[in-house]
Every structure is written in structure tokens, then in C-alpha cells.
Amino acid sequence: MTDATEIGAARTTRARRASFANVALQAVQVATGLVSVPLTFQYLGPERFGLWMTLSTALAFIAFADFGIGIGMQDRMVKALAADDRNAARSYFFSTVTFVAILVLLMVGLASFAVPSLEIANAFTIKSPEARSEVAATTSMVVVVFGIGLLAGLVQRVFSAFQEAHLAAFILLAARILSLILLVASIRFEAGLPLLVFIIGGLPPAVLVLAGILLLGARHRWMLPRRSSISELIELRRLVSVFKIGVLGLGAAVAIYVVNNSSLVIMSAKYGAAEVSDYAILVKMLSIPTMFVIYILQPLWPAIADANARKDYRWIQSAYSKAARVSVAFVVATALGVLLCGRQLVELWVGREDVVPSFALMLVSVIFFVVGCWSTLLTTLLNGVSSFRSQATGGIAIAITFAFVAYVLPTSLDKSVVVAAVGFGFIVRCLLLQLEVNRLLRTWGANAA
């Protein structure tokens, strides 16, 4: 075997290993979620549980809070590792970690001063003395968990840069199981809400930070700080380079976030919050197969980046073709299954007929799911070749435009039209990205010929 063939085979093995590990992690997350939600609801009661859920919505913004610097660090580290430039890879890592660590310290410090003076209990109309007594501490804990999540995201991206994402997935899998065990114990000993927030939301990323850094140091000892000056580890030019990619990557992530979440917000504003429960449950149900697709394809991003840096375009074409076939088979089977049995599954899951979606809402939601998986496939390739600009600029413009169209539609129309309008914009975005992917594939094919 040639060196290129051996490197390609190893790259394929690592990507498959990471995909399987991610699927196992997702299965554990779904299982622990199904167990932990009813446990915590019964223990906390409606008001304290609602407080926790409301405050925890802030954790959804972890992906955006680092200004995309994690994406930029991963991209730059992959290129440095492909070029065997260890000094650059180490500098990208320490420059990024230093920036995020300072950001986390500032965030936690500001929260420690600001939270006690805020009237959070009144803002959320909290009535029970028990919930009012815990609201400040719970808010502070959410901020701490948020900070830990930022650091954990960096550690996870370092594993991805080394194409060792399966190790991060196994650490998180073990941490999720530990979190569930400690949750049961905490409820048994009647722990307070702040501790429960840490156990469920903060423990897994904290374990990833601690265990991940130790494991990375053991596997890649050259990454450890040497007796060199700080300026060799933390370089402004490296950080600027990371930011240039990260800002575009952040824009791409924001575009997807707007597309995926605007339908529910618009629907609630136009028809009332009471009228969106059927769609919200449907979104929850379809999010499970969506996450499986994301986790299966996610390891291809750093693998494609490595192959692109080495100009191994044949491997990229082959890997993308195989990923496309697997994705299409899974998505088609899932879409047909949901269309045929989705309404019955919702009724069985929730146990109420009034939240079973109409066939029209089911149909447009399934189409939205299919388009979302198509988008994941396309962006996996484009992310791997550092093509974020079109995803960011065009993606945000298209998402906002069609969200506005959906909002101004008359309320006399069925609410499924809102999903259809936003989904049409999603299709337009994917068609533009598909043209870019086709252009890349044709260029690589011509070069190979």
C-alpha cells in the first residue's frame, strides 16, 4: 500500500469509529433523557421544574457564545496536523483556550455580582417560598454550567481535529450514565435544584474537560506546554486566524439555528402558544433521527479537512458518495415510517389526542426533516474544505427572508403553511449549496482524470 492509501484507510477507520461512538452516545442521551425528565418533574414539581427548564434554555446558546472560535480552532488545527506542524497546532490550541478561559472567568465573575441584585423571582412570577429561595443560586449555577460547556466544546473539537472524536464520545457516554446515577441519588437525599442543574447539565461537560485534557496529554505529549515563553504558546496572529474562520462558521451555525427554530416562534406569535403543542411534540420526535444523521456525518468534517489539506480528493469523493447513500437510505426509511405511523406514535407517546398533528402538518414537517438531513450532508463537505462564507452570508439572508414571509402570511391559512414557507427557504438554501458541492466534485474529478 502507498502512503496515501494507508493514510486514507486510517482516516476511514477513524471516521467510522467516531460515527459508531456518536450513535451510541446519542442512544444513551435519549434513554437518560426519557428517564431523567419524569424523575425530576415528579421531585421538583411544576414550578421548580419550569424554572429549571426556562433558565436552561440559555444553554442552547453555548454553540454561539464562543463567537465561532471553536470551529476556527478545529479548522486550523486540522491543517497544521496535516502539514505535521506541531508548533502551529499547539499554538492554535493554547491561544484559543486562553481566550475562552478569560471569557468564562469574566462571565462567571459578572454573574456573581449581577445575579444577587436581579429580581429573577419576580421576573418569572415565582410564588412558592422554596422556588424563590433557590432561584438566585440556580441562575448562578446555570452560568457556571454554561462556562463549563464552552470549555468542553473546545476539548471536543480538539479530539475532532486529531480525528479521535470517538474518545470524546465514550467519555461523554460514561459521564451521562454517571450523571443519571447521581441524579437518582440526589433525589433520594432531597438535594436542591442548583445541585440537580449541575449534575444533569454540568457534570458531563466537566468530566469531558478533565478526562479529555488528561487523555489528550497522554496520547499527544508534544501538546503539553514546554519551557518556552508564553508568546510561543499564545500568539495574537494565530487567534486572529482562528477568528476569521470562526466568524464565518458562526454565521453558518446561526443561519441553521434561525431555520430550525423560526417556525415554532412564528407559529406561536400568529396562532397563540396553546396552538403549537402538536408541532412542538412533532419537532421533538423528529429531532431524534435528525441527531442520528448529524452524529453519523459529523466525524467526516475533520476527516475531509485532513484529506483536503493533503489534496487527497479521491478519498473525499469516495467518502462523500458513501455517506450520501447511507444518509438517503436512512432518511427515506425514516420519512416513510413517520408519514405512515407518526400520528399514532405521537398519541402513544403523549397519551392525548388533542396534540396529534394533522396530516398536512405531519407532511410538511417530514419534508422539513428530509431537507434538514440534506443540508447536514452538504455542509459536512463544505465545512471540511473551509467553505463557510456562502453558508453564512447567503444562509442568514435566505433564512430571515423566508421567516419574514412566513410571519406576514394571513392567519386564516393553516399553521402548516408557516412550516412550508420556512421550509421552502431551506430548500432554496440547499439548492445553492448543492451547486457549490457539484462544482467542487467536478473540479476534483477533472483533476483526478
Q: Which of 124, 116, 121, 122 is nearest to 135 (CA)?
A: 121
Tell me, what's the pLDDT at 273?
61
Reported as a single tens digit per residue, the pLDDT across 38-52 is 777 777 776 677 666
Tell me, what's the pLDDT at 50?
66
Would you put residue 352 in left (φ > 0), alpha (ψ -120 to 50) or beta?
beta
Reported as a single tens digit per residue, the pLDDT across 187-222 is 888 888 888 889 988 899 999 999 999 999 999 998
* CB atoms inside a 10 Å sphere around CB 441: 16
> What integer best gives the mean pLDDT of the chain?
85
The answer to whether the CB of 359 falls within 8 A of the CB of 414 is no
Tell me, what's the pLDDT at 115?
64
Tell me, what's the pLDDT at 57?
59
Tell me, what's the pLDDT at 134?
73
Is the per-residue pLDDT at 2 higher than 60?
no
pLDDT > 70 in the chain, percent: 88
How confident is the model over 431-440, as a mean pLDDT?
94
Residue linked to cell 475532532:
160
Residues 26 and 4: their CA atoms lie apart, in Å, by 33
Cell of 273: 402558544
Most confident listed range (117-126, 153-162, 289-298, 355-364): 153-162
The answer to whether the CB of 184 falls within 8 A of the CB of 40 is no
Is the per-residue pLDDT at 125 higher than 80?
no
pLDDT band, residue 437 (cuts 50/70/90) = very high
Residue 414 burial class via C-beta count within 10 angstroms: exposed 0-12, middle 13-18, buried 19 and up:
middle
Residues 378 and 257: their CA atoms lie apart, in Å, by 16
List of long-range contacts for 386-390, beta carbons under 8 Å, 24+ apart: 386/75, 386/245, 386/305, 386/308, 387/436, 387/440, 388/71, 388/245, 388/248, 388/249, 388/251, 388/252, 389/248, 390/432, 390/433, 390/436
pLDDT band, residue 253 (cuts 50/70/90) = confident
pLDDT band, residue 421 (cuts 50/70/90) = very high
How confident is the model over 156-161, as a mean pLDDT?
94
Ranges of H-type helices in 310-358: 313-350
Amino acid at 358: S
Q: Which of 289, 315, 331, 445 is nearest to 381 (CA)?
A: 315
How confident is the model over 260-266, as a mean pLDDT?
81
The answer to whether the CB of 58 falls within 8 A of the CB of 232 is no
Is the per-residue pLDDT at 124 higher than 60?
no
Residues 357 and 232: their CA atoms lie apart, in Å, by 58
Is the per-residue pLDDT at 123 higher than 60?
no
pLDDT > 90 in the chain, percent: 35
How confident is the model over 436-447, as a mean pLDDT?
89
Residues 166 and 16: their CA atoms lie apart, in Å, by 9
Reported as a single tens digit per residue, the pLDDT across 6-39 is 888 888 888 889 988 988 888 888 888 777 777 7
Tell me, what's the pLDDT at 58?
59
Is the per-residue pLDDT at 117 higher than 70?
no
Q: Which residue has the higher pLDDT, 272 or 336?
A: 336
Tell me, what's the pLDDT at 47?
66
Reported as a single tens digit per residue, the pLDDT across 85-97 is 998 999 999 999 9
Amino acid at 94: F
Most confident listed range (130-144, 223-237, 251-265): 251-265
Tell me, what's the pLDDT at 265?
79
Is the per-residue pLDDT at 113 higher than 70?
yes
Residues 108 and 100: their CA atoms lie apart, in Å, by 12
